[in-house]
Every structure is written in C-alpha cells, then in structure tokens.
Structure 1
C-alpha cells in the first residue's frame, strides 16, 4: 500500500504448518536477492530451523543452526548498505495440549510441562522456598521428555544470544526477540531475563526489543524498513475505558498499556503528547478488567469499567476530523468482540487507517500499529483497502462469527486436527462467510469506486484456527 516492492521466498522454501522449510534454498534465494534490496526482514527460526513451529519440533543441532545464521554476516559483508531487520520467538509454553504445533508428546504431557515451567521460574526468582514445588513438578514428567523439551528451549535461546552478538557487531539493523503465549511465571519469562541481561552487557538496547508477540513482528519490522530515514511516527492511544491501560491480558505477561508501549517502540513509533500532534490515533478496545476466551463475558470483559458507545463516538470524531485511526480490538483473543463489531457498523469503516482483532493481543496490536504508522505513506489506495478489508474479513467475520458457527455445525471436532471433516468444514465456511463478506463490502467499501474480486475461501491447515481468504481489490476500470 506504500508502493514498496516486496520480494518473498518461493513457497517450496518456506515451512508448511509443522513441516520445516528448506534453509539451504532460503540461503540461495537470499544470496540472489540481496544485491538489489534495500532491506531484509528475516525470521531467525525460519532461516536457521525451518520455521517458527518447526523450531519447536526439529532436532537440528545448535551448530547447524548457528552455521545457517552466519549467512546474515555474509550478506552484510557483501552488501554493506543492506539493512537487516531480524526477529526470533522465544519458545512458548503452550496453553493448550497441541501435539502438532509442539512436540507430539505435548498432547499428553502439556499440563505437567506447564507446571514444571512455572515451578522452575518461581524457584529461579524466589529461591529455596519454591524448591519442593519444583522437585514435585520435575518428578511428574518422564526424564527423557523433560530433557528433550528443555534442550529444545536451550538450543533456541543460544541462537537468540548469537543474534544479539550479531546486533552488537553491526550486522543487524534491529532485532526483536519476542515471547509467544507467555505469562507472568514460566520458562519464557526466564529466557527473557537472560536475553535482557545479555542486551545490558552488550549495550544494544537502542536497536533491540523484547516483549510479548510473535506472528505480527514482520509488520513492525517492515514498518521500520519502509519508514527508514523518517522521524518516528507519533501515536495517540485512545482506550475504550478510562482504566484501559491497566487491563489484564491472557497470553501476555503485562497489562495492556505496557504491551502497547512495547509494540509502538518495536515499530519505531513514539507516544504523542496530544491528539493534535499525533500522526495517527491507535484506538484500542480493551476488556473492562481482563481478557476472557468466551463471548460474552460479563465478569471481566463487558463490564461498567468501559463504555463502548462512547468509544465508538470518539472514533467517529477522530474520523470526521480527518485523523488516521487504526483500531485494535483486544477485548477477547482470537477474534473481534461481536458487540463492538455491531456498533462499528454505524461508522464509515473504509475510512479507517487500520484494523486488527486477531489471535493474541500482541498479534492484533502489532498489525494495527503498523497500519497506523504507515497511513501517511499510502500511495496505493486499492492496496490499502484490500489489506484493511482482509483484516475485517478474517478477524471479525471469520474469527468472531463464522468459525464458532462452523465448529458447532460439525459437532465440535478437535481444535487440533479436523481429519476427514476438513472438506465439510470448508464447505460450511464458504456458505457462511461469502454472504457476510459481500454485505460488508457493499455497506462500507462499494462507494470507494474500487472493485472486489474474491477467490475460494479455504483453510490453511486441517484445523479451523487459520482461514485463507483470497481477496483482490482493484481500481474500477474506466467507463467507455
């Protein structure tokens, strides 16, 4: 949408769910492309271990991963002007017993491994008072499984520490090491403290961020790459409740306000001192007190601690004043808040600079911040409308409405593997999503003069969690 030309690797070199990508093919592709590039955005796990999910599953030794990492030093030496933006993801301690995104044994031992994770970190922080709980948690897990699981984490942490060394050496422009599905206590928090200590020792904090996030980090780093040489974008944060900054998150280790500050910094943005001086408004729908998984939640989410109609009124005022507004809906994880989505229909949604409501609060914020920070650079209005409409289709129409309907219609199959029900799920998905998609476009985007062309909606993997919605927005052909 900004007119930047983006090159991506061939699909055969990239991971597919838990099937690893091909690091050798990625290396060859990078050597070919780097000569003509201004910037490179690279995921450490994809380059060195075949992908973010495969990095939790493959047995590649540390020496192999570190040898692949050396490609970045090679590229920088060959092309000194190339700006390399890099990110890695601290291995999560998954909240669900998912045997596909984790090692297969996690489906059976996930609960016990989570208990060990918490006990280990509590002992590390609070000392011998937590020793008995740690010993009990260790005995509850077969030694070979615990050793393998911890060993995977230690290998990936060593890779991240090596990336910090590359940052200190000047090979990398910026490095984000983020925490996926984290919490106050756990091995991810333990790893974060080790990474922070290394950053202290190296003195690299001006070019380093560590905070809760994962899938959205490329948005932040692409934003940094595109805005290179420009002043930081200034963001005015508008909450749905006066205490929104203190709202608790399910998959993050800090309240909403601190999470937002971290995501702004990662994308090279700064908080504005007033709405008048802001480059964009980040309108954030927070829960009243704390996120919840099931809508509606009247105990901690939809409470008198916020006022959604007033929030929507404020967004309308911002839009009428010509401000760039990017809306981040983080009241519930994994989809838009249905009540807010209904209220938003009274607004001119096509005039939003950005929208996000998917997966974790960090995922949503990272993409919404990127939309806002790039709003002033938009050159391709069809590209922008396609990106904006795509988020609304996925985050609101699918995640919040269609996905739970499809799951109910199929009799609530396993969230991890649809098996033979995949074809039925995709038929249900298309039948339920298509009329909603067409109605949303007609109500909010048809008047833009742009045209929408859609492909066949389907699932990325044999599970309902991730849908694929091919959309192509174009300028209308001139008449005559």
Structure 2
C-alpha cells in the first residue's frame, strides 16, 4: 500500500510524524522532494510540487493522496498567512485536485484545509510583520466581530456602527483580505468535496478561542456544510500540525475497516473543560480526532479496539512556555489509575496528555514510568495544543490497529514513535527547554544564530539521551541518531532514534 502526502510544512511534526504513523502500519509513505518543500517563511515551489503530484498520479503508483491545501495553494502554513497570492491564483492552484481526479478516477483523495488563526500575541515570527505592533488588537477585533455576528444571528439589536479598534485601516484591510482569501479557499474545498473530487475533507481551526475570527468563520462554514447533501461528512474541529498524521492513519484504516474507541478520563468533569487555544470541550476534540483518523466511538455494549486516556486540561495553571506550571498530584494519580485500567482490558491504549499546553506533564509521565506503565502504551502525545497532542496519539494508535489487521504492523516502529514523543513532549518541552529558556534562547522562542544553535543541539541531545537511558527497557539499547532545531528556534526539535542492536 502506497500513500502520498503533501504536508503542511517541512517541520518534523508534519513530515516525520506522518512517516512514523505509516511505518507503524508497515505502509509506504511518499513525500514531495526536498527542493519542492517550504522553508519556514519561504513558500514551497508550488509549480514543482504540482509537477510531482501530476507525475505520481499519471504513473499509477499511489492508491491514496492526502493533501494539505495550505501547501498546495500557498506553499505552507506560514506562507498561507503572509504571501500576496491573489484569491484567483489560489483558486486556480486548488483546481489541480479536480485535474488529478479526472486523470485517475479511482484515486481516493483526502484534503485538509485550515481556518486561519489570529494569534493572541505580539509575535510576528509566523505572521505578517505588523503583528508585532497590532497582533493582540487584531485578535480582539476578531472576537468583537464574532460577538456581533452572534447578535445578528439571534435577532438582537443590529448596528452598522464601525467596530472600535486602534488597528489602522491599512493594516486591518490587509489582514481581513487575507482572511477572506482563506475563507474563499475553504468554501471552494467544500465544493470539491460535494462534487466528489475530494473523498474526505477536514476543516481544522488553527490556534483559536471561543470568541475569535476563526470561530466566527466556522459558523459560516457549518452553515454550508448543513446546506450541502454531503456536508455532514465534513470534519471540522480544532487542530493543525497533527492533521497530516491523522489523515494518513485514516487512509490506512480505510483499507481494513472502522476501529472502535472508548474515551477515558480519570477526573470527573475533565472532559467538559475547554483547553487553551481551542473553542470546544475536550470531549468534542477527542471524538472528532477519532472520527478523523477513521474510527468511531464504541457503543455501550461493545468492547472497544482502542482506548484513549485523557489527562484533562487545567488552563488556569498556565503552560510550559518559559515557566513550569504546578502539577496536581490528585489528577496525576487519577490518570495513572485510568491508564492502568485501560491497559488491563487488552485494548490498544493511547494517552493524550493535554494537562498543559506546550509540553507534557512530567509528573504524570514519570509516575507512569515508575509504575511500569509508560512503555506499555501504544502511543503518547503531549506537545503544543490539545488538538496536536490528541491527534498525534490517536493517529499512531489507529495505525497500529490497522497494521495488525493487515498483518504488517511493525513493533519496532511503534516503540520508536512512542519514545520519540516521550523525549520531545516530556523530556524536551517540559524540562530541557525550560532550563535553556533564558541562557541559550534569551527568554524567547528564537531565532538563534548558527554557533548558538550548534551548542544548544549538543546540550539537548546529551540531556535527552540521559532521559532515554533511564526509560528505555533493559535489552533495548536506543540512541539519538540525529537532533536538530529545524526552524532555528526553541519551539520544536527534529529527533531520529536508532536501536543499536538492529
């Protein structure tokens, strides 16, 4: 089985994680050539990318195609926010999907398109340059407009008074036109799905909030999803960087069936909380990620194939950017108990560690290791947003189920993926990165220069290898083969693990 993926960008979470998902199931994943991929703010070579896709489809060497629309039409997740492509140019590029389907009518095509974020920050690292001066004001403007939309929808008092905002008209015009372009592409993707060009469509909301520009746009998109006969099949939920891995897992699972899942949480009420950077309760995000990966929730009288245990969010305690939030011993103990109970059923068990944003809960991970439960998990996720963490964990577990059903599952790949996430999400994000935040990274995400990066990578590799030596089981000598800071900043690492006796 061969699946091709156009990833969201070139970072490990969008390339290595989907590759690991495919490897778990024993499936080959084809990726674009390096010279066609984006490089941080520099967009992908869209012409080269389209040429690769045409050649691949004409050759007949691929059964399923998973496409991140932001890369297909703009060259990546950040270029989708900052480039000056016209709406007509973007729509023309999106039309390639119709061409590919006409060339290969049996091709199963899955697409993911993002609802553009409006980050509540003054960081312009991943945004237009004016974000450093007006970022929080633009985020607030989206919230105000969303609330006005809700008043309109509920028959409240309507007003044509301009929104009161300190954002200059030129900046506001530029940003809102970018949002309008993104929304037009999402509507066009809905049309491609309705026409049958796209078999599965996800519209995921990147870094949003209950009242925000992205949440308002979801209302409009849901209207059209309700209006179109096939619209109920469209998947809409919080997420971004995990989408490639989730949809690769779905493409594999579709080959063998629909796995059943059960959601478990040790804390009463934990599933009802809304995680940071999202606009829906945790239970909704878990359910939607499960469905996106090709699964469904088990009925009450069914024995599930897989269980996802959620370490419930606690937004009031903060996150792992620059400081260490306090863990909750009671919550930790309840999640350990939930993991033990899930493992005792014999099901495939995924752990979504969404207690904190931007890093896993070290107290939980270490408690699981001490109890001998950590490496009995099939997958783990605790990086960045709840959607990212849930999606990664669910995708790896779903791939294992599919691989076992196909008879091609790779146990070494399962272990490699699990250890990679533990090292990244717990050992680096929640420990080593904090220790380096001020000295090596000057109290910010980045960027850092070449000499500082070399020293930082050496320290990270040394500390993570020490943690790996502590948690790896006896008889499995794993080592860090490669470690990089791919975007020359602290926020993400690239990590390759090798087992020395293989």
Query: TM-score w.r.t. structure 1 length?
Result: 0.91
Partner Cα separation in structure 2 for residue 388 and residue 457 of structure 1:
16
Alignment pair present for 1:114 and 2:144: no
Task: Show the counterpart of 1:394.
Answer: 424
Partner of 2:318: 292
Task: Tell me which residue corresponds to 1:217.
Answer: 243
Measured in 2, the distance between the counterparts of 1:307 and 1:439 equals: 24
Secondary structure of 1:111's aligned partner: helix
| 2:165 corresponds to 1:146 | no
SS at match of 2:114: strand
User: 1:437 Cα deviation (Å)?
Assistant: 2.7
1:135 corresponds in structure 2 to 163
Equivalence for 1:97: 122
Q: Give the equivalent residue in structure 2 for 1:322.
A: 346
Once superposed, what is the RMSD of the aligned Cα atoms?
A: 2.3
Which of 358, 378, 397 is matched with 2:383 structurally?
358
Equivalent residues in 2 for 1:300-339, closer than 5 Å: 302=328, 307-339=331-363
CA-CA distance at 1:315 after TM superposition: 1.5
Alignment of 1:362-381 (within 5 A): 362-378=387-403, 379-381=409-411
* Structure 1 partner of 2:452: 424
- C-alpha separation between the residues in 1 aligned to 2:388 and 2:306? 19
Q: Does the 8 A contact of 1:173 with 1:207 survive in 2?
A: no
CA drift at 1:197: 1.2
Residue in structure 2 matching 1:173, options 199, 214, 225: 199
Q: Distance in 1 between matches of 2:259 and 2:134?
A: 45
Q: Is the 8 A contact 1:182 1:252 kept in 2?
A: yes
Greater alpha carbon shift after TM alignment, 127-136 vs 283-292: 127-136
Taking the aligned partners of 2:491 and 2:423, their CA distance within structure 1 comes to: 14
Single out whichever of 44-53 and 463-472 deviates more from structure 2: 463-472
1:164 aligns with 2:172: no
Aligned residues: 466
Q: Which residue, out of 249, 257, 261, partners 1:235?
A: 261
Partner in structure 2 of residue 383 of structure 1: 413
Find the aligned partners of 2:498 and 2:300 in 1 and give their Cα distance.
37
Q: Specify the alignment match of 1:30 in structure 2.
A: 53
Contact 1:333 1:361 in 2 (8 A): yes
Give the match's secondary structure for 1:119: helix
**Deviation at 1:261?**
1.5
Compute the displacement of 1:133 (Å): 8.8
Q: Is the 8 A contact 2:206 2:238 kept in 1?
A: yes
Secondary structure of the corresponding residue to residue 334 of structure 1 = coil
In 2: Cα distance, 1:166 partner to 1:412 partner:
46
Segment drifting more, 148-157 vs 206-215? 206-215
**In 1, are the aligned partners of 2:441 and 2:448 still within 8 Å (CA)?**
no
Report the TM-score when normalising by structure 2: 0.87
Residue from 276, 284, 297 that aligns with 1:250:
276
The alpha-carbon deviation at position 212 of structure 1 amounts to 0.7
- Greater CA deviation, 154-163 or 276-285? 276-285
Note the alpha carbon deviations across 1:427-466, whole angstroms, 9 max, x for none.
234324424434424533443x5x5343342211122111
- 1:201-252 deviation per Cα after TM superposition (whole angstroms, max 9, x unaligned): 2122343111111111112211111011433211111113021111221110
Q: Which SS does the other structure have where 2:237 is aligned? A: coil
- Could you tell me how far apart the structure 2 residues matched to 1:365 and 1:154 are? 29
Q: CA deviation at 1:342?
A: 2.0
Residue number in structure 1 paired with 2:5 = none
Distance in 2 separating the partners of 1:439 and 1:462: 23
Q: Is the 8 A contact 2:138 2:167 kept in 1?
A: yes
Q: Deviations over 1:32-60 (max 9, x none)?
A: 11221110010111001111110000000
Runs of 4+ in 1 over 6 A off after TM superposition: none
| SS at structure 1 position matched to 2:425 | helix
Equivalence for 1:410 = 440
Contact 1:239–1:285 (8 Å) recurs in 2: yes
- Of 189, 198, 206, which aligns to 2:224? 198
Cα 1:203–1:160 shift into 2, 3 Å: same
Give the CA deviation at 1:311: 2.2
2:25 matches 1:2:
yes
Contact persistence 2:72–2:93 (CA under 8 A): yes
Contact 2:266 2:338 in 1 (8 A): no
Query: Residue by residue, what CA displacement relative to the aligned partner does 1:135-172 show, whole Å, maximum 9, x if unpaired?
Result: 212xx111111000000010111111111111011101
Over 3 Å counting, the alpha-carbon distance change for 1:292 and 1:203 in structure 2 is farther
2:246·2:292 contact (CA, 8 Å) conserved in 1?
yes
SS in 1 for 2:176: helix
* 3-state SS in 1 of match to 2:135: helix
Using CA pairs below 8 Å that are at least 6 residues apart, which structure has the higher relative contact order?
Answer: 2
Q: Deviations over 1:40-92 (max 9, x none)?
A: 01011100111111000000011111111111111111111111000011110
Distance 1:398 1:208 in 2: 35
**Greater mean deviation of Cα atoms: 119-128 or 459-468:** 119-128
